[in-house]
Every structure is written in structure tokens, then in C-alpha cells.
């Protein structure tokens, strides 16, 4: 082995060790937050946690300068504020879950919260532009603003309906499914990956990593049902298989989406807060597409807790 090859191997090994240490620390932090989410006030704690993550993600997105200027960020913040308020109302009136049509009530409330939040974001963005003395809406502003609101600002609020529908245990299982594939894909790709299916969008992603991630995600979903950890499955083990499949595919898609954001912004990571793991958006990218879908899918696959 040449000196250059040995140095490269040592650097790769050091990076794996450092990322493992950071990941372990973050895992302990998430475990603490999940414990808080299991308390009597856990639904409101989850809402507060989701708001903090959403605002942090908006800040990083604004710094990337690809979603528009300050008016767009203000509109996104308004969307989070309104969405959080609507979800808070749902939590206050959570007795609706005792009704026979609880699944439909929950889905309708969440859908309305997201739709109206988008409208509020648009209005506030327009007012912010007018307040700055301008009224410009260039070609491309609409899609960029929509991406900021619906792909960055609002998705993390879906952690609340997941906690509401699945309980603290369901929320924990969702987060495990969203991250376990990411972890499996990272280590499989680092040790066995050779082919890169998305060299321009995400150079580090490998076919081996993607396949390992998918298999582990599906296996974990089935395992949670078979072990009794995830109960109330309407379709037996197939509920777990489908949940694991959907979470993993959308989590990987979210990772690719965020890689596209970073490529457009010409940055390696969305931030430096978490060292080799990057910024907040780098950590939650697997939740951005999966959380809203799981929030709607959960009542269809699993019975709501009594």
C-alpha cells in the first residue's frame, strides 16, 4: 500500500470515527427529547420542538440564498407560526379523536393547517415586499418561495400529527425508520460502495448505500410490528413493511433534494453546527418529505391510540 493510499484510508477512518461520535451525541439528545414527548404535556413539547427545528431550517435556507431574500424568509416564518397555532388548536380540541371518524378528523385538521399556512406565507411575503418599498415578483420567485414554505418550513410540523396519531412510541419509531436507513446507507456506502448513481447531485451516495438503506428500513418496519413494539397494525406485518418502505424512499429522496439545494447554493453543508454532520438541514433532510406523508399515512396503516 502506497503512502498516499494509506493516508487516504486513515483520513476516511478518522472521518467515520468522528461522525460516529457526533451521531452518538445527537442520538442521546433525540432520546431525551423523545422522553419529554412521552410526558403528559408531550404533544405540546413536540410542537415546540418542531417549531424550533422549522425556524432553524428557515435560517439556514435563508443563508443559502437560493429561496429569495428576507421577505421570503419572513413569509416562511409566518407560515410556521400560523401552522403551529392551528395545530395547537387541534391539540386543545383533541377530544375529537374519541369520535368514530377520528382518522378523517385528524387528517382534515392537518391538511387545513398546511393549506392555510401557505396562504398566510404568501400574504406576509407580499406585505414584506411592499414594506421594503418594492413590488417585484420575478419569474422563478414563485417556485422558490413554494419550495421554502412547503419543502423546508412546514414539513417538520408534521411531527405533531405523527405524535398525535402514533403516540410517543410511534414518533420514536418514525424517527428511527427515517434515520436507520441513513446510517446503514452511510456505512455500507463507505465500506462497499463503488457505483455512484447521482454523481452530480450527491457524489457520496452509492448504489450499495441506497440498497442497504432500503433493505434495513423495510426490515426495521416489519420488525417493529412482529416484535409487538408497533401495535395496532391494520394489515399485520404488511403495515410495517409499507411504513418502512415509504419512510425510507421519501427519506432518501429528501436527502437528494437537500443535496440539490446545496449544489445550487454552492455549499458543502447547510451549516457547521454539528461538525462533520453539517447543519440542521443536513440532519433533518430525511424528514422533509417523509414526515408529511407519514402523518397522513399513519391512520390508514395503524389504529389510533385510545
pLDDT at 223 over 90: yes
For every residue of 284-303, DSSP letters joined together read HHHHHTHHHHHHHHHHHHBP
Mean pLDDT for the stretch of residues 95-123: 67
What sign does the CA torsion over 54, 59, 62, 68 have? positive
Q: State the burial class of residue 136 (Cβ atoms within 10 Å of its Cβ: 0-12, 13-18, 19+).
A: exposed
Residue 281 exposed, middle or buried by CB count within 10 Å (0-12, 13-18, 19+): buried
State residue 194's pLDDT score: 66
pLDDT above 90 (res 48) = yes
Specify whether the CB–CB gap between 258 and 302 falls below 8 A.
no
Q: How far from chain centre, in Å, is Cα 153?
A: 10
Q: Is the pLDDT of residue 101 over 60?
A: no
Q: What is the mean pLDDT of residues 232-241?
A: 94
**Residue 100 confidence class, pLDDT cut points 50, 70, 90:** very low
Residue 210 has pLDDT above 80, yes or no: yes
Q: How confident is the model at residue 117 (pLDDT cuts 50, 70, 90)?
A: confident
What pLDDT shows up at residue 241?
96
Average pLDDT, the chain: 81
Q: Is the pLDDT of residue 195 over 90?
A: no
Contact 270, 199 (CB under 8 A): no
Cβ contact 28:131 at 8 Å: no
Which residues face 302 on adjacent strands? 233
The whole-number pLDDT of residue 19 equals 63
pLDDT value of residue 145:
86
Residues 6+ apart with CB under 8 A from 227: none
Please state which of the ranges 105-109, 157-161, 162-166, 219-223 shows the lowest mean pLDDT: 105-109
Structural domain boundaries of the chain? 3-301
pLDDT at 289: 94
Q: What confidence score (pLDDT) does residue 268 get? A: 85
Per-residue model confidence (pLDDT) at position 14: 57
Q: Which of 187, 224, 268 is nearest to 12 (CA)?
A: 187
Asked if the model's pLDDT at residue 220 lies above 70, the reply is: yes
Model confidence over 125-182: pLDDT tens digits? 777 766 655 555 554 577 888 889 999 999 999 998 898 888 889 999 999 999 888 8
DSSP string, 111-139: HHHHHHHHHHHHHHHHHHHHHTT-----T
pTM: 0.85
- What per-residue confidence (pLDDT) applies to 99? 45
Does position 273 have pLDDT exceeding 90, yes or no? no
pLDDT at 30: 80
Amino acid at each position: 500500500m502506497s503512502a498516499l493510499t494509506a493516508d487516504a484510508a486513515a483520513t476516511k477512518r478518522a472521518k467515520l470515527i468522528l461522525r460516529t461520535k457526533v451521531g452518538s451525541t445527537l442520538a442521546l439528545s433525540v432520546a431525551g427529547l423523545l422522553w419529554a414527548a412521552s410526558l403528559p404535556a408531550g404533544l405540546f413539547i413536540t410542537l415546540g420542538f418542531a417549531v424550533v427545528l422549522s425556524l432553524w431550517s428557515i435560517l439556514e435556507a435563508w443563508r443559502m440564498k437560493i429561496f429569495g431574500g428576507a421577505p421570503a424568509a419572513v413569509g416562511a416564518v409566518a407560515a410556521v407560526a400560523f401552522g403551529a397555532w392551528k395545530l395547537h388548536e387541534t391539540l386543545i380540541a383533541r377530544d375529537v379523536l374519541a369520535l368514530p371518524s377520528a382518522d378523517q378528523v385528524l387528517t382534515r385538521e392537518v391538511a387545513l393547517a398546511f393549506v392555510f399556512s401557505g396562504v398566510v406565507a404568501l400574504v406576509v411575503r407580499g406585505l414584506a415586499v411592499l414594506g421594503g418599498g418594492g413590488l417585484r415578483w420575478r419569474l422563478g420567485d414563485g417556485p422558490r418561495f413554494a419550495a421554502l414554505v412547503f419543502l423546508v418550513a412546514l414539513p417538520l410540523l408534521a411531527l405533531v400529527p405523527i405524535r398525535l396519531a402514533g403516540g410517543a412510541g410511534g414518533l420514536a419509531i418514525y424517527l428511527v425508520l427515517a434515520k436507520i436507513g441513513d446510517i446503514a446507507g452511510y456505512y455500507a456506502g463507505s465500506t462497499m460502495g463503488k457505483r455512484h448513481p447521482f454523481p452530480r447531485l450527491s457524489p457520496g451516495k452509492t448504489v450499495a448505500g441506497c440498497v442497504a438503506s432500503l433493505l434495513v428500513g423495510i426490515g426495521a418496519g416489519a420488525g417493529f410490528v412482529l416484535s409487538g413494539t408497533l401495535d395496532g397494525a391494520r394489515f399485520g406485518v404488511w403495515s410495517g413493511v409499507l411504513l418502512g418502505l415509504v419512510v425510507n424512499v421519501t427519506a432518501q429522496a429528501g436527502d437528494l433534494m437537500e443535496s440539490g439545494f446545496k449544489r445550487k447554493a454552492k455549499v458543502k453543508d447547510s451549516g457547521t453546527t454539528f461538525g462533520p454532520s453539517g447543519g440542521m438541514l443536513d440532519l433533518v433532510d430525511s424528514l422533509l418529505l417523509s414526515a408529511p406523508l407519514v402523518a397522513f399515512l399513519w391512520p390508514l396503516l395503524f389504529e389510533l391510540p385510545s
